[in-house]
Structure 1
Amino acid sequence: MRREEHRTGRLLLVDDNRVNRLLLTRHVSQLGHQVDTAENGLLALQMLRQKSYDLLLLDIEMPEMDGFEVLSEMFSDPKLHDLPVIVTSSLEGLENVVRCIELGAEDYLSKPVNAVLLKARINASLEKKRLRDAQRDMVSRFATLEVAQDMASSGFALGGRRVQATVMFCDIRGFTGMVEQQTPEEVIELLNTYYTLMFDAINGLGGVVNQMIGDGLMAIFGAPQPLPEHAACAVAAGLEMIAMMAQFSAEQVAAGRAPLKIGVGIATGEMIAGYTGTDARATYTCIGDTVNLAARLEAHTKAAQRAILIDAATHDALRGEVSTESLGPVLLKGKAESVQVYAVLA
């Protein structure tokens, strides 16, 4: 017969009665869990925001801040919303149990708490926490933190909303030729290194990489979460990307490989941001003329022999704080009219 195994965790026990705290702490500790204690709800919230816990055991009738108020605060806090809570209280009445459940509690155990039942409830709650964490980790592998947060707070729905943001496109120049000269394993290693560097620069300045196709990527600054000075952040990220790729290219050349250069196109303006696809498979992206313009600017970096090209809206948003060179009106491929193009100078 297979032996049943249970996950241990870090628990916070909140009760204003010292005897209850001591007895419950001893019992929970004997089950193999780590236990911290708090004597009121206000102190408990402070501890929850300072440390990471797997489960909260919460009394209701307490001074400073009662259990209902703690649950309400946790329910409205995205960082605490998913923390499992087991209420342990002597407060009677079905309406109190219902209120706790509606505020997000996993369970309600009446005092004096049955030790066997408490053990079962703790094990069940920790398993739910493990599954939630695993689900969150899985989402984070296939969606950025910002998109994951947007889904957690707003839910998933196909469609979009109008936003003012900045879009960046980037790719490796001459990548097709490099693929022909290297093994598949070498190409994958090159792409992984490239994306590591690009993600660091983009994410570090508030951008969100939402598409990767081969050596090309698309990033958004200003959606799904608002970002002050999104145009300046995008340009600053572009400059970091160029600097990092120059250093990486020097290392490649020293190892006897081909040098690497990237092209970056950036445009600022109104666009539609949201989820496109189907209910079964969707992605977060932006669409609109601003997005198309950024893609055309990136493609034009090859002809212009410039690393970063930006549109007039991005240039104006910089307010002269970044050195640029006007390339004049340019008729970009796919555009009916010429657009003012600027090169960013490193």
Structure 2
Amino acid sequence: MKKINFPFAHKLALSMIVLIVSGMLLLGGLIIHDQNNLLEKQMHSYAKILIHQLAASATEGLLTSDTLNMDVLVKNIAQNKEILGIAFYSDEKQQKSSNGLIPASLDFPDSVNKVSTILWQPPLSDTKAEKSIIQNVFFSTNLPFLSYIGSINYQDVIIGYVLLTFDQSLFIQARNKTLYTIVITTVILIIFSIILAFFLGKHLSRPIDDLLHASHAISKGDYKTPFDESRDDEFGILMQSMNIMADGLLRKESVEKALSRYVSPTVAQEILGNLKSINLGGEQVNASVLFVDIIGYTKLSQTMKPEKMNQLLNEYFSLISQAANIYGGHVDKFIGDCVMLVFGVPKADEQHSYQAILCALLIQKIISNLNQQRIAKNQIHVDFHIAVNSGLMLAGNMGSEQRMEYTVIGDAVNLAARIASYTQNNEVIIPESMLERPGIKENFDLEKKESVQIRGHEQAVTLYQVNSCKNKNQLNLTQNMNSLMSADFNEK
């Protein structure tokens, strides 16, 4: 399963955070810009109003050349901490009275009621200027001063000018306070938005997490994990579809299990994996067959009730089937009192002959052990003919289009079935031709038996009895037998 490095919930939260933060920064910038403009307008408006009031108060003094009147106005205005300088000028631009910081270069308005703005940098020549500059260190120690100069009019005639120099520190403080408030508010909202975005991302991605967990369960073969279909959005439709898919997979698994009871699991997988190519016919393969046939079945069936006979067959055949699975074989069919096992098909196995003989020896041990148990319980026991053969055979679907089965046929199969009747109680017999197979002579203790004439064969067939293994597989046979018998006992 591919590892998730960056979950969707985090991606969703990050997208929300980027949008929210971008929006907050943009909104904060716009608010700061608007606040600056508003504060500047308020300051300009305040300055113009004050200049017009001073101009009205100084009109009589300028007309009568009463400097005392202007000195009083200057003295009174100079006491205002917001104003750093004030001056009155005649219409000839001669200074009449002044106090505080006055710019060296003046831009006198040339029309009635016009107010000019002057930004200037004063020399640090007096303590008042130095004090004001020190107060304005938030942005720069060289903050320019702001002066306003307006005309003094009488009957729409300019008779003089009034100048005011304002302390910008108040404006700066107001602007900084606004900026600080906006920045703090924006940061708090951003932090809150980040937390909210992660919670929303986790909440909104919960259906995806549910789908992810369920898909993991389905990939592991657990099709019983239900989805909540109560949602009325796209996820609800998707979950409903996933439930339908899981139900289909569960039915498919049930079909596979049911089919595996009638054919081997390997054959069932082969059939289900190639549903579009199920046709009559087959291919020639090199494989092995193992026949296990009850001795004296006809007489036994005449003396036992059918239910008891069925129980006896199932007990032996169940263990024989499990033994085949250990060595890569499978039950091809049950023929009354006989079991036909196949090795090397449908999945090829180069050691099919070797595995088939090992399986035969394991079955021999199982039968011997089970017979001892049944004798101890005073129950009927049975012995078997056991024969193995390998060779070329036809493997595929046999029968008709309406009913078919996967099996193997051929002379090698017939020979194994016929030589089985020449065995004694639970002996394992193979034909001489199998001695040429890889690993047979080297790994098994073989005993030459009689040569028999088999129907369909011109020459006699020499038989060999397999007594045991020569290597550690003998110990493995005992361990496998104990494992199977123990499992069978626990099931009972």
Same fold, judged at TM 0.5 (above): yes
Give secondary structure in 1 for the equivalent of 2:268. helix
- Other structure's SS at 2:328 match: coil
Q: Which runs of 5+ in 2 are unaligned?
A: 13-200, 226-232, 469-492
> For residues 334 and 115 of structure 1, what CA distance do their matches in structure 2 show?
69
CA drift of 1:174 comes to 1.2
Residue-pair matches, total: 266
Change (3 A) 1:225 1:199: same
Aligned pair partner of 1:149 in 257, 269, 281: 269
Tell me which residue corresponds to 1:176.
Answer: 298
Describe the shift of the 1:125–1:238 C-alpha distance in structure 2 as closer, same or farther (beyond 3 A).
Answer: same
Structure 1 residue aligned with 2:430:
310
Query: Kindly tell me: are residues 306 and 260 of structure 1, through their superposed partners in 2, closer, same or farther at Cα, counting changes over 3 Å?
Result: closer
Root mean square deviation of aligned Cα? 3.0
Residue aligned with 1:320, SS:
helix
Q: How does 1:200-279 map to 2 (within 5 A)?
A: 200-279=322-401
Equivalent of 1:331, from 410, 428, 453? 453
Deviation at 1:13, TM superposition (A): 10
Distance in structure 1 (CA, Å) of the matches to 2:410 and 2:336: 22
1:14/1:37 contact within 8 Å kept: no
Contact 1:166-1:234 at 8 Å conserved across structures: yes
Aligned counterpart in structure 2 of residue 36 of structure 1, from 206, 210, 213:
213
* Cα distance in structure 1, aligned partners of 2:304 and 2:5: 60
Give deviations 1:232-276, integer Å, cap 9, x for gaps.
111100001011101111122222233321111111111111110
Distance 1:307 1:301 in 2: 6
**Per-residue deviation, residues 162-204 of structure 1 (Å, max 9, x unmatched):** 1111111111111222222222111111011011110111111
Separation (CA, whole Å) in 1 of partners of 2:6 and 2:298: 65
Q: Is the 8 A contact 1:271 1:287 kept in 2?
A: yes
Code of the residue aligned with 1:216 in structure 2: it is C
Structure 1 gap ranges (5+): 1-11, 39-43, 57-112
For the 8 Å contact 1:166–1:269, the answer to whether it is kept is: yes
1:321 corresponding residue in structure 2? 443
Distance in 2 of aligned mates of 1:219 and 1:14: 50
| Native 8 Å contact 1:13 1:37 kept in 2 | no
CA contact (8 A) 2:384 2:426 kept: no
Change (3 A) 1:296 1:171: same
Pair member with larger Rg: 2
- Equivalences for residues 1-346 of structure 1 within 5 A: 16-19=7-10, 22-23=202-203, 26-27=206-207, 36=213, 51-54=220-223, 114-155=234-275, 156-302=278-424, 307-317=427-437, 318-346=440-468
Superposed displacement of residue 210, structure 1: 0.7
CA drift at 1:25: 5.7
What is the distance in 1 between the residues matched to 2:284 and 2:323? 26
Which residue identity does 2:207 align to in structure 1? H
Secondary structure in structure 2 of the residue aligned to 1:169: strand
Counterparts of 2:410 and 2:417, CA distance in 1: 11
> Aligned pair in 2 of structure 1 residues 24, 281: CA closer, same or farther (>3 Å)?
farther
Deviation at 1:319, TM superposition (A): 2.9
Question: Secondary structure of 1:234's partner?
Answer: helix
Please state whether the residue corresponding to 1:345 is helix, strand or coil.
strand
SS at match of 1:227: coil
Tell me if the contact between 2:291 and 2:341 (Cα under 8 Å) persists in the aligned partners. yes
Q: Which amino acid aligns with 1:128?
A: G
Structure 1 residues 332 and 55: alpha-carbon distance in aligned structure 2, compared to 1, 3 A threshold = same
3-state secondary structure, aligned to 1:149 = helix
Tell me the TM-score normalized by structure 1. 0.69
Distance between the aligned counterparts of 1:269 and 1:253, measured in 2? 38
Q: Is this contact kept in 1: 2:389–2:413, CA < 8 A? A: yes
Question: Relative to structure 2, which stretch is displaced further, 200-209 or 332-341?
Answer: 332-341
Q: What is the percentage of aligned positions where both structures have the same residue?
A: 26
CA distance, structure 2, for counterparts of residue 138 and residue 315 of structure 1 = 39
Contact 2:223 2:247 in 1 (8 A): no
- TM-score (normalised: structure 2): 0.49
CA distance in 1, matches of 2:301, 2:241: 56
